[in-house]
A and B are shown apart, each in its own frame.
Chain A
Amino acid sequence: QQQVKQSPQSLIVQKGGISIINCAYENTAFDYFPWYQQFPGKGPALLIAIRPDVSEKKEGRFTISFNKSAKQFSLHIMDSQPGDSATYFCAASNEGGTSYGKLTFGQGTILTVHP
Chain B
Amino acid sequence: DAGITQSPRHKVTETGTPVTLRCHQTENHRYMYWYRQDPGHGLRLIHYSYGVKDTDKGEVSDGYSVSRSKTEDFLLTLESATSSQTSVYFCAIGKRGLTDTQYFGPGTRLTVL
Q: Which of B4, B33, B40, B104 contacts A102, CB < 8 Å?
A: B33
B101 within 8 Å of A (CB atoms): yes
Q: Which residues of B contact A108 (CB under 8 A)?
A: 42
User: Separation in Å of the A98 CB from the closest CB of chain B?
Assistant: 9
The answer on a CB contact under 8 Å between B99 and A49 is yes
A93 within 8 Å of B (CB atoms): yes
User: Separation in Å of the A107 CB from the closest CB of chain B?
Assistant: 4
User: Separation in Å of the B40 CB from the closest CB of chain A?
Assistant: 6
Task: Give the complex CA separation of A102 and B99 in angstroms.
Answer: 11
Give chain B's interface secondary structure class.
strand
A84 within 8 Å of B (CB atoms): no
The answer on a CB contact under 8 Å between B42 and A43 is no
The answer on a CB contact under 8 Å between A43 and B106 is yes
A 30-49 contacts with B by CB, 8 A = 32, 34, 36, 41-46, 49
Q: How many residues of B contact A (CB 8 A)?
A: 28
The answer on a CB contact under 8 Å between B100 and A43 is no
The answer on a CB contact under 8 Å between B102 and A107 is no
Q: Which residues of B contact A42 (CB under 8 A)?
A: 1, 106-107
Task: Give the complex CA separation of A102 and B103 in angstroms.
Answer: 12
User: Separation in Å of the B32 CB from the closest CB of chain A?
Assistant: 10
A9 within 8 Å of B (CB atoms): yes
User: Separation in Å of the B108 CB from the closest CB of chain A?
Assistant: 10
Measured CB to CB, the residues of B under 8 A from A are 1, 4, 31, 33, 35, 40-45, 48, 50, 56, 58, 90, 92, 94, 96, 99-107
List of 6 A-B pairs having minimum Cβ-Cβ separation, nearest first: A43-B104, A105-B42, A101-B100, A105-B43, A107-B42, A93-B100
Can you show 8 pairs from A to B with CB atoms below 8 A apart? A36-B104, A41-B106, A46-B101, A89-B42, A100-B48, A100-B56, A105-B43, A107-B42
